[in-house]
Structure 1
Amino acid sequence: MTNAESPRPRTVLPIESSLLLSDSFGPAEVTDLRHTVTSFAGESGLTGSRLEDFVLAVNELITNAVRHGGGRGSIRLWREGPAVICEVSDTGRGISAERLGDGRRPAPDTAGGWGLWLAKQLSDEMIVESSDLGTTVRISASLDPPPGQPPRR
């Protein structure tokens, strides 16, 4: 085989040039992680209430991973085009399909169940993948929502 015919090396995972943060966390890192997300998302262009909403949504996801997802989790934060995206994963028992399908606001006197609902309200898009091997939640916030359109779903 000549050099011209040699196969090109391949990577298993795509390289994300816009990756801002990739880390694992536990209960002791939640506060520092929230500050780090604030810094990176702000440097990426999120400002004002959009930044505050996004950070609160991320905080709900990392808190859920610690409380309900096995006590630890992993986070990735990146910028993709005109949006900041955050993905939080855990290795807990997963979330039932019934619970995931229930998009209603929790009752005001309910002590739990607010995390995913709130994260969905505070982000532009939320995708949840869950099984008995764990849960991954991905949220995004557009840097510039279209004029005249609400930024959240």
Structure 2
Amino acid sequence: MASDARSAGRPTALLSELFDHRLITSVRHAVARLAGRAGLAGQRLDDFVLAVNEMMTNVVRHAGGSGVLTLWLQDQTLLCEVADEGPGIPAAQIDGHLLPSPFALNGRGLWLAHRLCDNVTITTGPRGTRVHLTIALSH
């Protein structure tokens, strides 16, 4: 996956990992460690890691159980892509701007990501989804 990142004009990945339900914790810890080394700290670090974890959890629960996470640094911004080969995200859920009902059992992941990161972009379709999360190192 790192070679895919380079061919798309991205810098070399800090992390490129396959994940499933068994690996979410170790990948989340790697993201936290590398984001901290890159200069993200405090609440912004915690927020970014939570958003990344929510996106990985969505993949495991709703998109076939496994995906690929790629993390890179560009122009003092930390970027993370969480990609899967699932059926796509329903159009009504993509914007993530409506707070789910307090009684809903799920549906908060994208809503949280939109609030915790500086930018969230989603490309989705019947052959998979790519969620890009970005957060500036200095805010």
Question: Scaled by the length of structure 1, what TM-score is found?
Answer: 0.83
- 1:44 shift after superposition: 0.3
- 1:141 and 2:135 aligned: yes
Confirm or deny: 8 A CA contact 1:127 1:139 kept in the other structure: yes
Runs of 4+ in 1 over 3 A off after TM superposition: 14-18
Cα distance in 2 between the residues matched to 1:24 and 1:36: 12
- 1:101 shift after superposition: 4.0
Identity of aligned residues (%): 41
| Residue matched to 1:49 | 43
- 1:86 and 2:92 aligned: no
Confirm or deny: 8 A CA contact 2:121 2:133 kept in the other structure: yes
Cα distance in 2 between the residues matched to 1:18 and 1:81: 13
- 1:124 and 2:118 aligned: yes
SS at match of 1:27: coil
- 1:39 shift after superposition: 0.3
| Residue matched to 2:59 | 65
Query: 2:7 aligned to 10, 13, 30, which one?
Result: 13
Cα distance in 2 between the residues matched to 1:42 and 1:80: 15
- Relative to 1, partners in 2 of residues 1:101 and 1:53: Cα closer, same or farther, differing over 3 Å? closer
- 1:108 shift after superposition: 1.1
- 1:28 and 2:13 aligned: no
Which consecutive unaligned segments of at least 5 residues does structure 2 have? 1-5
- Residue type of the alignment partner of 1:141: I
Question: Scaled by the length of structure 2, what TM-score is found?
Answer: 0.91
Confirm or deny: 8 A CA contact 1:89 1:135 kept in the other structure: yes
- 1:15 shift after superposition: 6.0
- Relative to 1, partners in 2 of residues 1:52 and 1:44: Cα closer, same or farther, differing over 3 Å? same
Cα distance in 1 between the residues matched to 2:96 and 2:10: 33
Which consecutive unaligned segments of at least 5 residues does structure 1 have? 1-11, 146-153
- 1:17 shift after superposition: 3.7
| Residue matched to 1:3 | none
Larger radius of gyration, structure 1 or 2? Answer: 1
- Residue type of the alignment partner of 1:88: V
1:69-126 Cα shifts (integer Å, max 9, x gaps): 1100001000011110000001111012222146211111111101111111110000
